[in-house]
Amino acid sequence: MKKIVFYLLSIVSIAAQGQDYPKIAKELQQKYKDSEAAIIQSTITYEFVKNAKVGAKIIESKNEKLLSLRYNYLIHQTEFYDNNSIIEEFRAESSLKQKAPDGLRSCGTYTNEGDFYDDSKFCTHQLKLKEVGEVWDIGLVKIINDPKYLTSIYFQEAYPLLEKKITFIIPSDIEVEIKEMNFPDFAISKAERTEGSNKIVEYLVKALAPMERENLQRGLQYNHPHLLVLVKSAVMAGKKVNVLSSPQDLYAWYSSLTRQLQPNPQVFKSTVAQLTKDKKSDEEKIKALYYWVQDNIRYIAFEDGMAAFKPDEAQHVFEKKYGDCKGMANLTKEMLKAAGYDARLTWIGTTRIMYDHSVPSLAINNHMICTVLLGGKKYYLDATEKYIPFDENAERIQNRSVMIEDGDKFIADKIPASDKNHDIDLRNLTMKINGENLEGKYTIELKGEAKKDFLYAYHYTKNDQKEEFLTDFISKGNAHVKTSNLVLPDMEKREGTLSLECVIKYSSAVSSFNNEFYIDIDPTKIFNNWVIKDTRQSDIDFGEKIHKKTIINLQIPDGYSVSHLPAKVDISDPEFSFSINYALNGNTVVYTKELNIPQGIIKKASFSQWNMANRKLTKAYEDQILLKK
């Protein structure tokens, strides 16, 4: 990393001295072979202006110099806005006299990934990179009409960055806290001064790689340097007016929206009665209603304006049979209330969110669930998680702070984490040699997140593709594995362990040479050659706790004995552990493999340990059992 910083700093210095853009571009081409352009300089200013209605408005002004690293290539320079902001000016002009004037920007609607519809909009300029070394000058003025909606500001961009300055101009009577996140790994400097009645805060960063989209990416907040802006209050006519000064302010705003709801339980009253009529215990009744919402309401997210924060009416969700998390939480709550239970709406940030609930920001919560209070215990119900059992919580909401509605105040709590043995994918094989194949009985037991995910995938696979899905699941994609005589359990049952059973034929597992059998015993070599790239920016987030165990009993054919058993592997790290063990038990070789990632996360700091361990695991997978006559 130091080398990269030095390299880029030297380029910046060349740029400053001679402005030899073609030369800089050529050097950057070598460094960033996948990048079409680089940002030589970016200056963004956020100027806070007092506003009687909402406390403050923010004028965001951006000027950017974009250096072309490609010839004859079209890129799109895109800026986003929504119902709470407008783009006042957006223009671009190049050193080769190409122009993309403000009037020619093209704008349209845009839906964020995972939503069906939201209020996001964009404006874009199509910029032609005519020559390597051409420089586009881009200017933007955007007005943010409500300061609550200015939350996280990231330093990285889609292109490599040589220098970026972020400036805040804050009048002394507007209280703004700027939290600096993930700064230690990046060379970001800060300067503060006062100009007249304004406080000026400036951040300067040099030499940043582009922000990458990566598989198993953890929430952006965890790894990327950024600022979290908290606009707390403003003094209006000599009086302090809170914007979001505390979690209570945030709750008050949420609550002002949910108070507008007008539930009509008559619409679902008969369904509630029908679902609970034969149920004796409270638990059974709650479960029946919770599972009904899971099974019958499709997740479709409308996040349009206030709808991004205000739940849809329960009766509407009930009638439409679709809704987003808020709508589903609200329907769960109202159906439970109709059945006589104390159910509450609950705001939560999933594991995608790094911030805790001490921070008063719209950025802390991205999800809503329902909490039912029964016998002094809180049960968290998330109907967006299909096939999760009652009183179990999905990985993404475990250990997360919640804000449970409670009139004018809220109940702060944390959802408990499950223990490490709660989630498991346990595979048991009993096999013998038949020619070049290993054949025998295969059982799989799934618990926790692994079971929930399996059930969801099974039920949302088309009927005529379910067999293929099951084969893929059992074989883990190994084309040499064929299954037959599959016995499935009750696939509607959410609680307990799910057990599958089948007969397996693992072809090409045995190589036979002159009365010797070379046996590749494990058909599911999980994490084989799973090396993490040095350049990866994000922690690995598997989205679940990994706990996979495979036990294989291999019967040694008559007349044969073990000539070679591979050595055992036992690697333990705070974030992961791998173990493989071979044992000889009479005429049976017992292979036991256990892979654990107890938090489901591999942090960047652990990548080198992971890679070392993974190379050992891969080597171990390559080692074969040798039987001799």
| Burial status of residue 454 (CB atoms within 10 A of its CB: 0-12, 13-18, 19 or more) | buried
Calculated CA dihedral for residues 205, 211, 215, 218, nearest 10 degrees: 40
Q: Residues 596, 550: contact at Cβ < 8 Å?
A: no
Print burial letters for 51-78: b (CB count within 10 Å at least 16), e (below 16).
beebbbbbebbbebbbbbbbeeeebebb
Reduced to 3 states (helix: H, G, I; strand: E, B; else coil), residue 472 is helix
- How many residues form the binding site for other proteins (CB under 8 A)? 59
240 binds other proteins (CB under 8 A): no
Q: How many CB atoms lie within 10 A of CB 464?
A: 7
CA–CA separation, 354 and 477 (whole Å): 34
At 69, phi and psi to the nearest 5? -110, 5
- 409 strand-pairing partners: 406
Q: Residues 127, 92: contact at Cβ < 8 Å?
A: yes
Output 240 or 493, the one with its CB closest to other proteins.
493
51 binds other proteins (CB under 8 A): no
Could you identify the residue written with the tokens 């058909």? 523
Question: Which residue type occupies 385?
Answer: E
Choosing from 19, 20, 71, 305, the residue that interacts with other proteins (CB under 8 A) is 71
Going by C-alpha positions, the residue among 502, 374, 506 that lies closest to residue 438 is 506
Q: Would you state the structure tokens that stand for residue 499, as one six-digit string?
A: 């057990």
Min. distance of Cβ 565 from other proteins in angstroms?
Answer: 9
17-36 positions binding other proteins, by CB under 8 A: 26, 29-30, 33-34
282 binds other proteins (CB under 8 A): no
128-187 positions binding other proteins, by CB under 8 A: 131-132
CA–CA separation, 52 and 236 (whole Å): 7
Question: For other proteins, which stretch binds (CB under 8 A), given 65-73, 157-165, 346-354, 404-412?
Answer: 65-73
Going by C-alpha positions, the residue among 144, 158, 126 that lies closest to residue 47 is 144
Site map for other proteins, 348-387, x if CB under 8 A? ----------------------------------------
529 binds other proteins (CB under 8 A): yes
Q: Residues 202, 166: contact at Cβ < 8 Å?
A: yes
Min. distance of Cβ 9 from other proteins in angstroms?
Answer: 22
DSSP 236-286: ETTEEEESS-SHHHHHHHHHHHHTT----THHHHHHHHHHHTT--SHHHHH
624 binds other proteins (CB under 8 A): yes
117 binds other proteins (CB under 8 A): yes
Question: For other proteins, which stretch binds (CB under 8 A), given 44-52, 68-76, 330-338, 538-546?
Answer: 68-76
Question: For other proteins, which stretch binds (CB under 8 A), given 44-52, 89-97, 354-362, 454-462?
Answer: 454-462
Choosing from 563, 572, 587, 608, the residue that interacts with other proteins (CB under 8 A) is 563
406 binds other proteins (CB under 8 A): no
Output 189 or 515, the one with its CB closest to other proteins.
515
597 binds other proteins (CB under 8 A): no
473 binds other proteins (CB under 8 A): no
DSSP assigned state of 103: G
- CA 309, 313, 316 angle in degrees (round to 5)? 130
626 binds other proteins (CB under 8 A): yes
Site map for other proteins, 306-335, x if CB under 8 A? -------------xxxx-------------
461 binds other proteins (CB under 8 A): yes
Output 555 or 624, the one with its CB closest to other proteins.
624
Min. distance of Cβ 133 from other proteins in angstroms?
Answer: 8
16 binds other proteins (CB under 8 A): no
Choosing from 459, 533, 568, 629, the residue that interacts with other proteins (CB under 8 A) is 459
Output 7 or 73, the one with its CB closest to other proteins.
73
Print burial letters for 333-344: b (CB count within 10 Å at least 16), e (below 16).
bbbbbbbebebb
- CA 187, 190, 193 angle in degrees (round to 5)? 165
Q: Which long-range contacts (CB under 8 A, 24 or more apart) does 190-197 make?
A: 195/169, 197/171, 197/172, 197/173
Output 33 or 277, the one with its CB closest to other proteins.
33
Choosing from 2, 52, 460, 535, the residue that interacts with other proteins (CB under 8 A) is 460
CA–CA separation, 383 and 166 (whole Å): 41
Choosing from 106, 260, 399, 421, the residue that interacts with other proteins (CB under 8 A) is 106
583 binds other proteins (CB under 8 A): no
Note the maximum CA span of the chain.
96
- E strands of 82-116, at which residues? 85-94, 99-100, 106-109
Output 36 or 102, the one with its CB closest to other proteins.
36
73-102 positions binding other proteins, by CB under 8 A: 73
Output 316 or 420, the one with its CB closest to other proteins.
316
Could you identify the residue written with the tokens 């883990």? 476
Output 15 or 307, the one with its CB closest to other proteins.
307
Could you identify the residue written with the tokens 């025998």? 440
Choosing from 91, 165, 564, 616, the residue that interacts with other proteins (CB under 8 A) is 564
485 binds other proteins (CB under 8 A): no
Question: For other proteins, which stretch binds (CB under 8 A), given 164-172, 406-414, 440-448, 620-628?
Answer: 620-628
Binding site for other proteins (CB under 8 A): 26, 29-30, 33-34, 69-73, 106-111, 116-117, 122, 131-132, 296, 298, 300, 302, 304, 319-322, 459-465, 479-480, 507-508, 511, 513-514, 516, 518, 520, 528-529, 563-564, 566, 618-619, 622-626
